[in-house]
């Protein structure tokens, strides 16, 4: 029993250090990873993401939210503000527990640390796109994480499945999205521990 415990602890420590510190799951050059007209689809969240350009490690995106799309769970970003500009349709948001509605031409910037989620209550597609590129949508590393996790979550097929923890862990702690109803430290520790196994199981690139 002691041998098994030592083996398990060694596996967690060695793979955790390798995965989270030496071989982080992010590319060195985001601008070469994303290509024009490349789309990333989330059937579960009802979203289609297109990265228009990468500039100074920021991503300028165009995204579509399908009719009656539930969107992502309520979440926070620890290190960046997230901007949404509605180009078409009527978008709904929960921001710190308050519902907000935006029309075409309106912009909202969600400060880091504020719980939020976009969703679509209408029968029409909502398009988020800052045509003037005045506000970056998100960090390039976060856009990269979304491009990976969308396909993983669609394979799982259930947004409430515990397997989604593996999909998140496979992206590492650099994927800056966190549940708003739990402390950050335990969430980061769980990703650190589960990350190597999640990638071995095929939940990340």
| pLDDT single digits (tens) 48-78 | 999 999 999 999 999 999 999 999 999 999 9
| 41 and 134 part of one domain | yes
| 90 and 152 part of one domain | no
Q: Which residues contact 191 (CB under 8 A, 6 or more apart)?
A: 168, 169, 172, 173
Q: How many domains does the chain have?
A: 2
User: Is there a domain that residue 7 lies in?
Assistant: no
Last residue of a domain, one of 121, 138, 155: 138
Question: For 91-147, what is each residue's pLDDT tens digit?
Answer: 999 999 999 999 999 999 999 999 999 999 999 999 999 999 999 999 999 999 999
Q: What local confidence, expressed as pLDDT, does residue 6 receive?
A: 78
Q: 97 — alpha (psi -120 to 50), left (phi > 0) or beta?
A: left
Q: What local confidence, expressed as pLDDT, does residue 8 receive?
A: 77
Query: What range does the domain containing 67 cover?
Result: 36-138
Question: For 160-197, what is each residue's pLDDT tens digit?
Answer: 899 999 999 999 999 999 999 999 999 999 999 999 99
User: Is there a domain that residue 55 lies in?
Assistant: yes
| 165 and 116 part of one domain | no
Q: What local confidence, expressed as pLDDT, does residue 147 receive?
A: 94
| 40 and 128 part of one domain | yes
Taking 90 as the threshold, does the pLDDT of residue 205 lie above it?
no
3-state SS assignment for residue 143 = helix
Taking 90 as the threshold, does the pLDDT of residue 7 lie above it?
no
Q: Among 62, 76, 157, which Cα is nearest to 111's?
A: 76
| 17 and 46 part of one domain | no
| 160 and 128 part of one domain | no
* Global confidence as pTM: 0.88
Number of C-alpha atoms within 13 angstroms, CB side, residue 53? 9
27 membership: H or E segment, kind and range: none
CA distances from 78 to 55, 64, 81, 121 (A): 20, 24, 9, 27
């Amino acid at each position: 029993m002691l041998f098994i415990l030592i083996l398990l602890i060694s596996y967690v420590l060695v793979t955790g250090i390798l995965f989270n510190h030496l071989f982080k799951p992010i590319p060195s050059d985001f601008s070469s990873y994303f290509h024009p007209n490349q789309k990333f689809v989330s059937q579960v969240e009802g979203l289609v993401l297109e990265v228009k350009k990468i500039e100074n490690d920021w991503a300028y995106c165009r995204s579509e939210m399908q009719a009656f799309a539930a969107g992502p769970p309520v979440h926070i970003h620890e290190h960046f503000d997230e901007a949404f500009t509605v180009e078409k349709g009527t978008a709904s948001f929960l921001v710190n527990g308050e519902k907000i509605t935006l029309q075409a031409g309106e912009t909202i910037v969600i400060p880091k640390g504020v719980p939020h989620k976009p969703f679509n209550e209408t029968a029409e597609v909502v398009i988020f796109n800052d045509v003037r590129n005045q506000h970056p949508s998100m960090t390039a590393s976060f856009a990269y994480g979304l491009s990976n996790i969308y396909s993983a979550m669609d394979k799982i097929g259930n947004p409430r499945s515990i397997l989604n923890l593996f999909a998140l862990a496979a992206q590492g702690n650099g994927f800056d999205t966190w549940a708003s109803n739990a402390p950050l430290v335990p969430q980061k520790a769980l990703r650190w521990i589960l990350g190597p196994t999640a990638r071995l199981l095929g939940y990340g690139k």
